Structure 1
Amino acid sequence: MGAAVKLTQAQKAAAILVAMGKPSAGRLLKFFKQEELKALVEAARVLRTIPQAELEKVVEEFEHEFTEGAGLLDSADSMDTILSESLSPEEISVLMGRSKPALSREEVWAELEKVEPARLAQLLEREHPQTAAVILAQMAPKTASKVILVLGKARRGDVMRRMAALGQVPPAARALIEKRIAEILRAEAGGKDASAGQARVASVLNEMDKAEVDELIGDLEAAGAEDIEAIRARLFSFEEIVDLPHKARVALFDGLATDLVTLALRNAPQELVEAALSALGQRSRRMIEAELAMPADGIPAEDIAQAQRRIAATAVELSQKGLFDLPSAQKAA
């Protein structure tokens, strides 16, 4: 039996930073050395997800340890203790990336029913028509009908014909089909885990300056990371507002507080100011223009940067909801 897989020190620090959220994590990131930032980005890329409620308990205890000098990257023993006291063995197994027990026959079919019909149709398009026919024949009719409707026309007729000709499926054949379904489900789960890791890395990178982002992306490329383009597609900086279509800019600034927009536009290039103001109504635009015409003396540069990051984070959230595509996603396509 192999030794249990454990999180590295950098992975533990990345877990805490992700749990703290962008504002707090962003402030802490400034105190890391460049090599520590690189380690955190690489750790976040492969970090698994644990429930938010449980992570909040971890964060509270971690903050207590930190005030007494435990540190972030040099607190492996303390973090192990915190995790073991805050999470169940099952949750720790998920966090540590340990293998989950194999699904039972009932669980295999129950999990398959949860896959979106359109996605399941895509997956079955890759399978032999006879395999697809057996799978759909064993599913609930309501679910199977939704999947069949989104299958390609050529495949749909073949699969339906095979379903009609099916007799009793031998136990050995059923076992092979269930094994194949389990493989499909594992692949789907792995894809979701990868997407979550990419989102975490992008979340960390979006808290940094463009020069730092470019350097760290270069480090990931040099390290042989295979999901660079997927990470790039999730990156967005405030300056890229000028690259958004007008409709996307309207969606972005709709609902944002005028004082936040005003603060973010302080000392910004005129092109960027115009791109933002053109997405606003006339009343809001006049109010912000009047504020920007006043001296900005005494406004900390960090406050301006934080306002810009908040708006950039809003753009990322809206893009993930499908309201518009980020410029980085369009370049990666």
Structure 2
Amino acid sequence: MAEGTPIDTDDATPVEPTGSQAAAILLMLLGEEEAATVLSRLEPDEVQHLGGAMFGVANISENEIDGVFDVFVDRARVRTTLGFGVERQIKGMMHKALGQDKADQVLQRITPVAHVNALENLKWMDPRAIANLIEFEHPQIAATVLAFLESQRAADVLQLL
């Protein structure tokens, strides 16, 4: 189906809209302000192309709108990382949009500090690595680290100091 061509709603068999027509339908489901914001970010030829597609889908049925929306939601579910992998997705978007250097600067300012208990990592470390880590620390720091460890591991670390 050519872009900007009306969807034929008289046929008994539903015609799947093109990508531009689906985008036009979704854009028309937004409020005027939101749609204007999206359009303002497009190139002039993209606005013209999408505008033509909007006129082409102006008389579609509610069922066809539902179909486009269902496809959109299904694809969004598959592609979304909300809840998992968010940090990787945000970094990827920022790097593509701003370039490596600018993105890293922005990310450094906006990335939340991880709430990780650094002492928890000690449970997974080799006793020799822990001994090397605390060897030149203040005795109170070393005592705090040793107190956190399981008794046998703390004893192993003490033997290495």
- Same fold by TM-score greater than 0.5: no
The TM-score, its normalising length taken from structure 2, stands at 0.43
The TM-score, its normalising length taken from structure 1, stands at 0.23
> Rg: which structure is higher?
2
Structure number with higher helix proportion? 1
